[in-house]
Chain A
């Protein structure tokens, strides 16, 4: 009895931690690359975008898992998209009302969460086949993994590109500007994917 509970706890823990390294949506699954490259010019932007996506991911996974047996297979994709788009719009409205500065920074990328492959991917591959609470954990895991990746990417680009950590500059003048621009995003992401693969291999 005890061991069953323990193995269950372990599998929940594994389910939760998979998003950080083993199945990290950015570094391993390489999903949602458009917002990843676009918004990660600073750590704060990455964090904000990640948390917004996490909220959408958790809520949509929950709702998709709840309605999975009510929705016939033929119309499941449109239904999932409607669910996801609703949550994205809610996040967009709430952020524009209560955090206008961050909303202005994330700009176009916020509504683009709708087409973020991670969210529909998890709805289709996980939430539509698993019970509600497991889907919520999956959403949380993937979302926080996404946030972790974006913040790390944004942090490194900000550090190299403008010589700052979370907006606090510690050098005068400019950093290595290319890291703030689009090519820098590809370069940093490439090295990070290589690094994460190395870590995953040695595990």
Chain B
């Protein structure tokens, strides 16, 4: 078959058809994957909440509240068992990570004690800073059952109580910063 003549009309129609077909198929795939994508994200969040607070039987999304400052929000998910609040999962963040933003889910018991912490999202260096993820090391375990009222959320190098990850002090500091932010918001909320 001979190549098409490069007339102006041919060029324009070719480009139009190519972009039209491509955008139509993308729209179709987007519609198909929209549902599963939202479900996957929701499941991930519920799983994270389940990991950082004691057992509960309520839906954490029913009672969630958001506290926003400078367009950045911190979300609190109080969870209940038999109608009684047994803990609160706080979705917190920090910009001080070695690779930028770190997102955490921090679980508090009603008295302000940390139940557990889980990393939702991070871009820390693999093999070093990514040890903030509990799948990679025991770093987060030292926060369990500690009350930030008595347990200073800064690394030992800076005079605090936290054992930093070897060769990843910046990531450790950022982690503490995000936990502290979660605690501050939680304190302010629960004192009302």
Q: How many Å lie between the Cα of A107 and that of B123 in the bound state?
A: 10
Q: How many Å lie between the Cα of A23 and that of B75 in the bound state?
A: 52
- Nearest opposing residue in chain B for A161, CB measure: B127
Number of interface residues of B (CB under 8 A): 31
Q: How many Å lie between the Cα of A69 and that of B30 in the bound state?
A: 30
B1 and A69 within 8 A (CB): yes
List, in ascending order, chain B residues with CB within 8 A of A70's CB.
Answer: 4, 14
B26 and A90 within 8 A (CB): yes
A93 and B37 within 8 A (CB): yes
A82 and B22 within 8 A (CB): yes
- Tell yes or no: B6 within 8 A of A by CB: yes
List, in ascending order, chain A residues with CB within 8 A of B167's CB.
Answer: 177
If A72-B3, A86-B26, A174-B127 touch, does A96 touch B14 (CB 8 Å cutoff)? no
| B1-20 at interface with A (beta carbon < 8 Å) | 1-6, 10-11, 14-15, 18-19
B30 and A75 within 8 A (CB): no
| B119-146 at interface with A (beta carbon < 8 Å) | 121, 123, 125-128
List, in ascending order, chain B residues with CB within 8 A of A162's CB.
Answer: 127
Q: What distance in Å separates the Cβ of B44 from its nearest Cβ neighbour in chain A?
A: 6
- Tell yes or no: A89 within 8 A of B by CB: yes
List, in ascending order, chain B residues with CB within 8 A of A93's CB.
Answer: 29-30, 33, 37
List, in ascending order, chain A residues with CB within 8 A of B22's CB.
Answer: 82-83, 85-86
Q: What distance in Å separates the Cβ of B34 from its nearest Cβ neighbour in chain A?
A: 8
A74 and B6 within 8 A (CB): yes
A90 touches which of B1, B14, B25 (Cβ 8 Å): B25
Q: How many Å lie between the Cα of A74 and that of B167 in the bound state?
A: 54
List, in ascending order, chain A residues with CB within 8 A of B123's CB.
Answer: 107
A94 and B29 within 8 A (CB): yes
- Tell yes or no: B41 within 8 A of A by CB: yes
Q: What distance in Å separates the Cβ of B43 from its nearest Cβ neighbour in chain A?
A: 8
A75 and B33 within 8 A (CB): no
B18 touches which of A41, A82, A161 (Cβ 8 Å): A82
Chain A interface (Cβ within 8 Å of chain B)?
A: 41-42, 67, 69-75, 78-79, 82-83, 85-86, 89-90, 93-94, 96-98, 100, 104, 107, 161-162, 174-175, 177, 180-181
The 16 listed contacts between A and B (C-beta, < 8 Å) are A69-B4, A71-B4, A71-B14, A72-B3, A72-B14, A73-B3, A75-B14, A79-B14, A86-B22, A89-B29, A93-B33, A94-B33, A97-B34, A107-B123, A162-B127, A181-B128
The 9 closest A-B pairs by CB, nearest first: A180-B127, A97-B33, A97-B36, A97-B37, A86-B22, A69-B1, A72-B6, A41-B126, A100-B40
